[in-house]
Amino acid sequence: MAQHELELILMRELAAHLQIPIFVVRPDGGLLFYNEPAEVLLGLRFDETGPMPIDEWVSCFAPTDVDGTPLRPEDLPLTKTARSGQPNHGDLFVRDVHGNRRHLDVTRIPLTTASGQMVGAAALFWEIP
């Protein structure tokens, strides 16, 4: 098993046991996994979607900035973290599968191997009432 696969498996295992919504992507922004608390906010089980290319999940969840401007895949803070390795924090809006607009507070962290190789990023988020 490649080292980066092990770290992503461990991240997925951790996410599956936490009660905070978590969304995990590859360095190119493609969706690898989201956990059950994220399923509740997004209105869609991961078992129904599986991994998705970035264009697909951006189309599905329609992220926008706080002014309502759609975020392009390359402009998403999570994508920037996955590429740069720099964590960031902020809020944005997404649309769940029922069409509800949800305001989220999001912390994004890079996922790296012990040697520093980027393997993706994780977004930990919660809804702002």
Express each pLDDT in 12-38 by its tens digit: 999 999 999 999 999 999 999 999 999
**What's the whole-model pTM score?**
0.91
* Helix spans in the chain (H): 3-17, 36-42, 46-49, 54-61, 77-84
What is the band of 8 on the pLDDT scale with cuts at 50, 70, 90?
confident
What is the band of 102 on the pLDDT scale with cuts at 50, 70, 90?
very high
- Domains in the chain, number: 1
Render pLDDT for 59-74 as a digit per residue (tens, 0 to 9).
999 999 999 999 999 9
The count of C-alpha atoms lying within 13 angstroms of the C-alpha of 70, restricted to the half-sphere facing its C-beta, is: 9
31: domain CATH number?
A: 3.30.450.20
Residue 74 in tokens: 């390359």
Residue 29: inside a domain: yes
Residue 122: inside a domain: no
5-36: string of b/e by CB count within 10 Å (b at 16+)? eebbeebbeebeeeeebbbbbbbebbbbbbbe
Residues of the chain with pLDDT > 70, as a percent, come to 97
In which domain, by residue range, is 42 found? 3-13+21-114
pLDDT, residue 3, reads: 52
DSSP structure class, residue 64 = B
* Burial class for 100, CB neighbours closer than 10 Å (0-12, 13-18, 19+): exposed
**Comparison of pLDDT for 9 and 93, the residue scoring more:** 93
Residue 126: inside a domain: no
Does position 1 have pLDDT exceeding 70, yes or no? no
Residue 68: inside a domain: yes
Does position 2 have pLDDT exceeding 80, yes or no? no
